[in-house]
Amino acid sequence: MNEHGDFHITFSNDVFYIKILGPWNLETFEHYNRDFNEHLNANICSSYSVFATLEGDSLMIPEVSEIFKMTVAQRIAKGLENVAFCLTKSACPNLFKHQIHEVYKGLNLSFKCFNDIEQAKSWLNEHQITLEDRLIARLL
């Protein structure tokens, strides 16, 4: 089957900058997961955060949602601490918020969804994470 959806990943100063273009199917998720793990293995760090922008239909199909939950649990064990989702271009922000809360329920992870990039930056700054504006600009 062909991939549906797309993504872009950049890593800098213990932060993953991710642009998610949806919707995704399982093949796209597997591709994303491989790329994410390659970045993580190449940039050893004790803790890291994620700043993600979502564009289009950002919902996960149930099969991807279950695998994503297991993957996130593994990433938390390897240092994932904070995730900020920017939903300014998401076609279904409220549904995504509900879905991500269900996926992250019970996991030891600080996460929040935002409709404004400055609020996301401020929230991450409260967690001692400073985002790079030039990398944010690439996601928009």
Give 71-120 pLDDT, tens digit per residue.
999 999 999 999 999 999 999 999 999 999 999 999 999 999 999 999 99
Cα separation, 60 vs 94, in Å, equals 13
From residue 91, alpha-carbon distances to 24, 45, 48 in Å are 14, 34, 28
Q: Is the pTM of this model over 0.85?
A: yes
**Under CATH, what is the fold of the domain 6-139?**
Transcription Regulator spoIIAA (3.30.750)
Query: The tokens of 34 are what?
Result: 């491989």
Cα separation, 20 vs 53, in Å, equals 6
Nearest to 104, CA basis, from 125, 81, 126: 81
Whether the pLDDT of residue 5 is over 90: the answer is no
Average pLDDT of every residue of the chain = 93
